[in-house]
Amino acid sequence: MSKATTAVEVLAGDNSTAALDVERVRQDFPILRQMAYGQPLVYLDNAASAQKPRQVLDAMQEAYETYYSNVHRGVHHLSQLSTDAFEAARDKVARFINARSVDEIVFTRGGTESINLVAATYGRKFLTAGDEIVISHMEHHANIVPWQMLRDELGVVLKVAPIDDDGNLLLDEYEKLLSPRTRLVAMTHISNALGTVTPIRDIIRLAHERGAKVLVDGCQAAPHMILDVQELDADFYVFSGHKMYGPTGIGVLWGKEEILNDMPPYQTGGEMISVVTLEKTTFKKAPHRFEAGTPAIVEAIGLGAAVDYLTGLGLDNIHAHEDGLLAYATQRLGAVPGLVIHGRAKEKASIVSFLMEDIHAHDIGTIVDRAGVAVRVGHHCAQPVMERFGVAATARASFAVYNTRAEVDALAEALDKVRELFAR
Ligand code: 7TS
């Protein structure tokens, strides 16, 4: 995490760690050669969606041009090739997160759908009125609203673990919320609004001690750190393809096989059944039970290519590079007069959320955009944590493997312009 790199090392170093040549990485991303308003594009909105390397684009193009067909339903040549490539992608994802079995990897449309799937199937089957679900104060709406819907439908109780003023999860307070009625903890691994890395191992252990299941929202963690779902020992882990250099429209629900096979289907239709008569239907086991209809075939293949790409660079190298950038950006942006960083947790990753005096976040975003710098402004689909910090919105810079310190400098210089404009 950020504390592994001291500021002195950061300022003395260049863009590349020994094992990661960032300039070469940038060559893989054609879009980074674009200009915005006549300025070199500085893309710092990676927590919303990361850009795609040539390797992912090529794999998808090749699929469409040479072996595209529907999967799991044809005996013909292309269908077999397509099915093999689709299932090979599942296998790559399984190995990427060290799943015990490839059957634990359910392809969904994204992290949001993965959470909704668990709420709609596991939630409806196993939770009843009075049961308790624990989330945190810094969840993305995707990990709040499905549980509120379940609360309203079933009468389950939703409890919220608090955070401190720096954005650290208060583990003692979390533990106090756990009770014999706690059935599920649904918690982010990394906050998209603050960058906080939660103490997920402790969160999982304490929940399991009470017999509760744990869903981890790993949307921000998957592109950033080595994941080992067996070692973490959660019950569900979810993430999206598009934040980890893969395409949109594809995501992952990992679940322990025995739990997945105990859950009813989510959507129903083609490919998820064993036998259908007009009287009754039996269902396949996981993962196919949860993949009704034609899946996002080429998107899954693209995700497989993204996994290969990440693995090729090395998640530990990516992690080290992004932590170096975070430390540099914290110092460089922190030195901009009037700038306040929201989220200063002890363990942080690749995200700096900030405001400048009473300047609205949208004004910040619009002005830096004119300098070619893309940041996200708004509530980041995490309104409760904005409210916790007493702000309506922040500007957020989020870093990926291809970002450089020069780009952090470009943001800082654009922020100086913002300040000058508003000082008049
Ligand atoms: N959970 C977290 C922690 C996220 O950051 C996001 C997306 C989601 C869930 C939902 O992912 P999706 O792929 O299904 O949309 N976060 C952001 C963001 O920070 N800016 O835009 C999307």
Which residue's CA lies nearest to atom 17 of ligand 1?
Answer: 48
Ligand 1 binding pocket includes 220 (Cβ within 6 Å): yes
- The answer to whether 50 touches 223, Cβ cutoff 8 Å, is yes
423 CA distance to ligand 1 middle (Å): 34
What's the CATH architecture for 59-311?
A: 3-Layer(aba) Sandwich (3.40)
Q: Residue 10's pLDDT is what?
A: 40
Q: Is pLDDT at 87 greater than 80 in this prediction?
A: yes
Q: Residue 16's pLDDT is what?
A: 63
Which residue's CA lies nearest to atom 22 of ligand 1?
Answer: 48
Which residue's CA lies nearest to atom 16 of ligand 1?
Answer: 48
pLDDT tens by residue, 126-151 = 999 999 999 999 999 999 999 999 99
Q: Is pLDDT at 7 greater than 90 in this prediction?
A: no
CATH of 7-53+314-417, one of 3.40.50.720, 3.40.50.300, 3.30.70.270, 3.90.1150.10: 3.90.1150.10
The ranges assigned to domains in the chain are 7-53+314-417, 59-311
Q: What is the 3-state secondary structure (H, E, C) of the chain?
A: CHHHCCHHHHHHCCCCECCECHHHHHHCCHHHHCEECCEECEECECCCCCCCCHHHHHHHHHHHHHHCCCCCCCCCHHHHHHHHHHHHHHHHHHHHCCCCCHHHEEEECCHHHHHHHHHHHHHHHHCCCCCEEEEECCCCHHHCHHHHHHHHHHCCEEEEECECCCCCECHHHHHHHCCCCEEEEEEECECCCCCEECCHHHHHHHHHHCCCEEEEECCCCCCCCCCCHHHHCCCEEEEECHHHCCCCCCEEEEECHHHHCCCCCCCCCCCCEEEECCCCEEECCCCHHHCCCCCCHHHHHHHHHHHHHHHHHCHHHHHHHHHHHHHHHHHHHHCCCCEEEECCCCCECCEEEEEECCECHHHHHHHHHHCCEECEEECCCCHHHHHHCCCCCEEEEECCCCCCHHHHHHHHHHHHHHHHHHHC
Whole-prediction pTM value? Answer: 0.95
245 CA distance to ligand 1 middle (Å): 14
Atom of ligand 1 nearest to the CA of 47: 19
Structure tokens given for 257: 């096989």
Q: Is pLDDT at 378 greater than 60 in this prediction?
A: yes
- The answer to whether 117 touches 237, Cβ cutoff 8 Å, is no
CA angle centred on 136, ends 130 and 142, rounded to 5°: 90
State percent of the chain over pLDDT 90.
94
**Distance separating alpha carbons of residues 315 and 227, to the nearest angstrom:** 9
Atom of ligand 1 nearest to the CA of 109: 14
Across all residues in the chain, what is the average pLDDT? 95
**Distance separating alpha carbons of residues 360 and 421, to the nearest angstrom:** 13
Ligand 1 binding pocket includes 140 (Cβ within 6 Å): yes
To test the pocket of ligand 1, the residue of 135, 147, 239, 381 to mutate (highest count of ligand atoms within 8 Å of its CB) is 381
Does the active-site annotation cover 381? yes
pLDDT tens by residue, 250-306 = 999 999 999 999 999 999 998 899 999 999 999 999 999 999 999 999 999 999 999
Q: Is pLDDT at 13 greater than 50 in this prediction?
A: no
139 CA distance to ligand 1 middle (Å): 10
Ligand 1 binding pocket includes 45 (Cβ within 6 Å): no
Q: Given the residues 381, 409, 419, 422, select the one marked as catalytic.
A: 381
48 CA distance to ligand 1 middle (Å): 6
Q: Is pLDDT at 2 greater than 60 in this prediction?
A: no
pLDDT tens by residue, 339-362 = 999 999 999 999 999 999 999 999
Ligand 1 binding pocket includes 135 (Cβ within 6 Å): no
Mean pLDDT, residues 101-122: 98
Label residue 423 by pLDDT band (50, 70, 90): confident
Q: Is pLDDT at 8 greater than 90 in this prediction?
A: no
Q: Is pLDDT at 381 greater than 70 in this prediction?
A: yes
**Distance separating alpha carbons of residues 140 and 115, to the nearest angstrom:** 11
**Distance of CA 362 to CAs 2, 338, 395, Å?**
28, 16, 8
Q: Can you name the residues that pair with 253 across neighbouring β-strands?
A: 106, 238
CA nearest 226: which of 299, 301, 114, 313?
313
Atom of ligand 1 nearest to the CA of 188: 3
220 CA distance to ligand 1 middle (Å): 7
Fold equal for 7-53+314-417 and 59-311? no
Atom of ligand 1 nearest to the CA of 112: 14
Which residue's CA lies nearest to atom 6 of ligand 1?
Answer: 219
Q: Residue 147's pLDDT is what?
A: 98
Structure tokens given for 251: 């995501």
To test the pocket of ligand 1, the residue of 145, 198, 219, 394 to mutate (highest count of ligand atoms within 8 Å of its CB) is 219
Ligand 1 binding pocket includes 47 (Cβ within 6 Å): yes
53 CA distance to ligand 1 middle (Å): 20
**Distance of CA 265 to CAs 254, 257, 292, Å?**
15, 14, 9
Q: Residue 3's pLDDT is what?
A: 40
Ligand 1 binding pocket includes 403 (Cβ within 6 Å): no
Q: Residue 12's pLDDT is what?
A: 36
**Distance of CA 285 to CAs 100, 348, 418, Å?**
16, 38, 56
Atom of ligand 1 nearest to the CA of 240: 13
Structure tokens given for 358: 């009473």
Q: Residue 4's pLDDT is what?
A: 39
Label residue 9 by pLDDT band (50, 70, 90): very low
